[in-house]
Amino acid sequence: MSKPKTKFICQQCGFESIKWMGKCPNCDEWNTFVEETIASNFKTGCNDTELNKVELLRDIQSKDEDRVKTGIGEFDRVLGGGIVQGSLVLVGGDPGIGKSTLLLQISDLMSRYMKVLYVSGEESLRQIKLRADRIIKNIQEIYLVSETSIHKIEKHVERIIPGFIIIDSIQTMFTDESSTIPGSVSQVRQVTQHLLRLAKQNGITIFIIGHVTKEGAIAGPRVLEHMVDTVLYFEGDRSQTFRILRAVKNRFGSTNEIGVFEMMTDGLKEVKNPSELLLSDRQFNAAGTAVVNCMEGTRPIMMEVQSLICHTNFGIPRRMSTGIEYNKFVLLLAVIEKKLRLNLSQSDVYINIAGGMKVQEPAVDLGVVAAIISGYLNVPVPYDCCFTGEVGLTGEVRAVGSIERRIIEAKKLGFTRIFTPEMRVNNIEGIEIRRIREIKELYDFLKKL
Ligand code: TYD
Ligand code: MG
């Protein structure tokens, strides 16, 4: 009998090699290669009857996807308007962030329409029941099974015929086809392949929970993300109650949407108006803070940017940012120093988005600049002012999208002045629109206060 062929696969990035290596040449990680057997029963050639039908694109009947609304507005919106029947969805997040809690609540809501099978490889049925007692009032038909073998799970599915399955979590599942331990790249890949087949052939919706590694990827490589229809990330600071559900890939909707939740003692509650919550702890007359209006998907969210400037005690001044990208923050600081001639070379500068939000939208720039100028001058930004706009390298304030929606949101929250880029916007009653061309105008405004 010939020796089975093996190859070495990097558990971090999926790079393949015929010999073991200490360091992966692709992702530069150390000690990540694991030997895996190559499946040798590949069949070549096939009968005519096995061929799939080829059709003309224009002749294919199109129909809207069947969607089921869970009733949790924040969750449905992130998915693009509800759960698409037969889709494979990956929910990633740090351990303990609340993935199992969220999906148990979703199971409860889905069980009103169809049979739900919750497969747990992490917790015992008793543990799940304890949690369910706390967060679900009237438990409907949810089938629970504690199982880690994908083949056994397939058998359970044949017997129960559920319409909705939760796999908690992909890292605990395994298949006999691979000799590696559960959680390794090839295990995760092969188990997901089984689940994909299960979802697509039987029209079952499957949600897969995946833990995120320190580097922020699910199960090491991103192989999984290619295989599923939708990838959601559940994030937030575990010490805070805020949780954000973000779509990073979605075959059935936009990827910019976020859903905001709050972790309570009886499960997750959706936050319908995040701006209100994010601004609830705002201090009156505090220098160094500014409210900024950013779009998250189709929704404007207002949040507070805080800055702290203090004299440096060491030779090299410190820069630290939470919530916005570090490089962008340093760049904005450089623009401020150069264009406004503020001397920050002897100061530590810290910046933070209150509430643990992470912002990537460029419109946050003007708020960051306002917070830093206000901190530097030690002059509070007036309580009724907010900001939105991108700042360029020459200190110019650049246009941003959906400006009208931002202004309306600001007005709704009681702001009476908003600083925006030079853009054409219809006047909106009750709020003054201050169009500015460069950050110098903002500096002059704060200086005069
Ligand atoms: P869990 O859903 O088990 O996280 P994950 O599946 O992502 O690992 O959530 C665990 C945390 O949530 C735990 O620290 C306790 C907290 N929690 C609440 O605060 N309230 C609740 O009602 C529940 C069920 C959990
Ligand atoms: Mg869990």
Q: Which of 45-59, 337-351, 362-376 has the lowest mean pLDDT?
A: 45-59
Tell me if the bond preceding 169 is cis, omega within 30° of 0.
Answer: yes
* One domain, residues 96 and 207: yes
Q: What is the DSSP letter of 286?
A: -
| Atom number, ligand 1, closest to the C-alpha of residue 99 | 7
Same domain for 167 and 281, yes or no, is no
Interface predicted TM-score (ipTM): 0.95
CA 76 to chain centre: 15
* Residue with CA at minimum distance from ligand 1 atom 20: 265
Q: Is the pLDDT of residue 216 over 60?
A: no
Residues 223 and 366 in one domain: no
Residue 224 has pLDDT above 90, yes or no: no
Is 105 a pocket residue for ligand 1 (Cβ < 6 Å)?
Answer: no
Q: What residue owns the CA closest to ligand 1's atom 1?
A: 98
Domain annotation covers residue 138 = yes
State residue 221's pLDDT score.
Answer: 44
Question: Does the C-beta of 323 come closer than 6 Å to ligand 1?
Answer: no
Is the residue at 243 inside a domain?
yes
Same domain (yes/no): 87, 104: yes
Q: Which atom of ligand 1 is nearest to the CA of 234?
A: 7
The finding on whether 267 has its CB within 6 A of some atom of ligand 1 is yes
Q: Which residues are annotated as a binding site for ATP?
A: 93-100
Residue with CA closest to ligand 1 atom 11: 96
* Beta pairing, strands 230-235 & 242-250: antiparallel
CB 97 less than 6 A from any atom of ligand 1:
yes
Residues 288 and 261 in one domain: no
Domain end: 272, 292, 318, which one?
A: 272
The domain spanning residue 159 has which CATH number? 3.40.50.300
Amino acid identity, position 89: V
pLDDT at site 254: 82
**Is residue 52 in some structural domain?**
no
Between the CA of 76 and the centroid of ligand 1 the distance, in Å, is 21
Same domain, residue pair 177 and 129: yes
In this structure, is residue 194 part of a structural domain?
A: yes
90 and 202 in a single domain? The answer is: yes
Last residue of a domain, one of 256, 272, 288: 272
Q: Are 315 and 404 part of one and the same domain?
A: yes
Q: Which of 263, 268, 269 best tests ligand 1's pocket when mutated (most atoms within 8 Å of CB)?
A: 263
Ligand 1 in reach of 96 Cβ (< 6 A): yes
- The domain boundary, picked from 253, 272, 291, lies at 272
Which residue has the least CA distance to atom 9 on ligand 1? 98
The verdict on 128 and 222 lying in the same domain is yes
Ligand 1 within 6 A of 134 CB?
yes
| Residue at 246 is within a domain | yes
For residues 268 and 289, state if they share a domain. Answer: no
Say how many CA atoms lie within 13 Å of 288 toward its Cβ.
Answer: 14
Q: pLDDT tens digit string along 288-298? A: 999 999 998 88
In a domain, residue 48? The reply is no
pLDDT reported for residue 59: 86
The 10 Å CB-count burial string (b at 16+, else e) for 234-255 is bbbeeeebbbbbbbeebebbeb
Number of independent structural domains in the chain:
3
Q: How far is the CA of 168 from the centre of ligand 2 (A)?
A: 7
What is the CATH classification number for the domain harbouring 315? 3.30.230.10
For residues 178 and 428, the model is more confident at: 428
pLDDT value at 1 more than 60: no
Could you tell me if the CB of 99 is within 6 A of ligand 1? yes
Burial class (CB in 10 A: 0-12, 13-18, 19+), 101: buried
Residue 44 confidence class, pLDDT cut points 50, 70, 90: low
Q: In this structure, is residue 43 part of a structural domain? A: no
User: Of residues 223 and 343, which shows the higher confidence score?
Assistant: 343
Q: In whole numbers, what is the pLDDT of the chain averaged over residues? A: 89
25, 79: one domain: no
Note down the domain range covering 84.
66-272
Q: Please give the order of strands across the beta sheet that includes 319-322.
A: 319-322, 347-353, 299-311, 289-296, 385-387, 417-421, 432-436
Cβ of 121 closer than 6 Å to ligand 1, yes or no, is no
Cα of 217 vs its chain's centroid, Å? 12
* Domain match, 322 and 420 both: yes
Q: Is residue 47 part of a domain?
A: no
Q: Best substitution site from 101, 127, 235 to test ligand 1's pocket, by max atoms within 8 Å of Cβ?
A: 101
Has this prediction a pTM greater than 0.95?
no
What's the DSSP call for residue 366? H
CA of 91 to the centre of ligand 2 (A): 11
Measured from the alpha carbon of residue 170, the closest ligand is 2
